[in-house]
Amino acid sequence: MIASAAGLTDAQKTAVAHTRGPLLIVAGAGTGKTRVLVERYRRLRAQGVPAEQILLLTFTEKAAREVLDRVELEDELPAGERFVLTYHAFAQRFLQEEGWLCGIPKAFRIVSEVRKWELMRDVLLTQRPPHLFHAQRPYERIAELLKLVERLKQELVSPDEFVSWAGRMADVEDPVVAAQREAALVYRDYQQRLLVEERLDFDDTIYYTVQLLINQPSVAARQSQRFTHLMVDEFQDTNFGQSRLLELLAGPERNLCVVGDDDQSIYKFRGASVANLRRFRSVFPDAAMVRLEQNFRSRGPILRAAGRLIALDPERLEKRLETTRGEGRPVSVLTATSVTDEADAVAAYVKTAIDEGRHRPNAIAILLRANAHLHTSPIR
């Protein structure tokens, strides 16, 4: 028997109870979103939904493992295979089963970063595009071009579409546009070489899955029947391709629940866009929305300080976090005239906190903006 969801807040109970139709959960930091996902999973199982029909997607393998561990611990009902996966793990499985319908080899492998670099190098050495290749510095644009290819795939732009656009810009006399026209041909050649070697990159797995679901309605229907309930963690970190994938998997029943917080979007450099939160509401205008605003992690001063900073973002979704842990010491700011003085001040602050018994050494974290700053860290 599945245990009851005791101790949930009213907002969490509302999110758990909503098991039919689209749902957007705006979950502020520390508001127990993982527990809500686990409780929703348990609720569905208690209602008789087989584990094989529930698909729960996360952004990282670590998050998938955490959710799966908690689900397996707390769901005592008999279950076959559980589908708690990352986007890319799901897409790889899907293409291994259905990819032959769009020409993807069943034995495809994920290409390594080194091999991607080598393939792009080979393309440039073969084509020698005048705006993208310099004989004395033949490799300086490789990283830039690989990033462009990554973004194009995340935006579901095919090589042929990019080449077609480039053809329409043939009369534009602008070196930047000329470089883009050359990049379109580079993209097409690079992708052809990938497929000849029966390799895909991670963005390919999402791209080809979406294309297959769009072009093969029977496959899309079969997938929506296979997974009758879909849940998604960290939705604010999805890119357009991943967002489109979710819409296609939701099917006519639209039992899609996404959990996200625009304040915590950290993967913009990978193509993630908080605009997908707004897109969700336009694609599913009748979606219910639940805000989780009770924070179980931080004390009042920290929440208020963070709230004042993030409130400056004019496009954020409205939310106001409230602490369940009461008040604490006010947030303090240390100022210093040099990096060394700053490091000494932090070290002295940490030592005082330990000597006074306010914190254990293993309960103190020092956050730095970049790895390059580690050499000045006061704790070694």
Domain shared by 230 and 81, yes or no: yes
In a domain, 351, yes or no: yes
In a shared domain, residues 156 and 232: no
Question: What pLDDT is stored for residue 380 in this prediction?
Answer: 54
Question: Is 135 within the bounds of a domain?
Answer: yes
Which secondary structure element, helix H or strand E, spans residue 15, and what is its range?
helix 10-17
pLDDT averaged over 10-residue windows placed end to end, the chain, 380 residues: 66 95 92 92 93 94 90 79 93 96 93 98 96 94 97 96 92 91 97 96 97 96 95 91 95 94 62 70 93 88 83 74 86 85 87 89 85 64
> Are 304 and 336 members of one domain?
no
Residue ending a domain, among 196, 216, 246, is 196
For residue 5, tell me if it sits in a domain.
no
Q: In terms of domains, do 22 and 171 share one?
A: no
| Any domain includes 1 | no
Question: Domain containing 74: what range?
Answer: 10-87+225-310
CATH number, domain with residue 38: 3.40.50.300
Query: Which pLDDT value is given to residue 80?
Result: 73
* H or E segment to which residue 26 belongs: strand 23-27
Distance separating alpha carbons of residues 308 and 211, to the nearest angstrom? 43
Domain total in the chain: 3
Residue 344 and residue 289 share a domain: no
pLDDT number for residue 272: 43
| DSSP annotation string for 54-115 | EEEEESSHHHHHHHHHHHHHH--S--S--EEEEHHHHHHHHHHHHGGGGT--TT-EEPPHHH
Residues of the chain by 3-state class (helix, strand, coil), percent to 5:
55, 10, 35
Residue 126 placed within a domain:
yes
- At residue 296, the pLDDT reads 87
Q: What is the pLDDT of residue 227?
A: 96
Residue 43 has a CB neighbour count (10 Å cut-off) of 16
Same domain (yes/no): 177, 253: no
Q: Does residue 324 fall inside a structural domain?
A: no
Alpha carbon of 169 to those of 26, 150, 185, 357: distances in Å?
42, 22, 13, 68
Compute CA distances 58 → 8, 43, 89, 209, whole Å: 22, 19, 10, 17
Output the pLDDT for position 275. Answer: 77
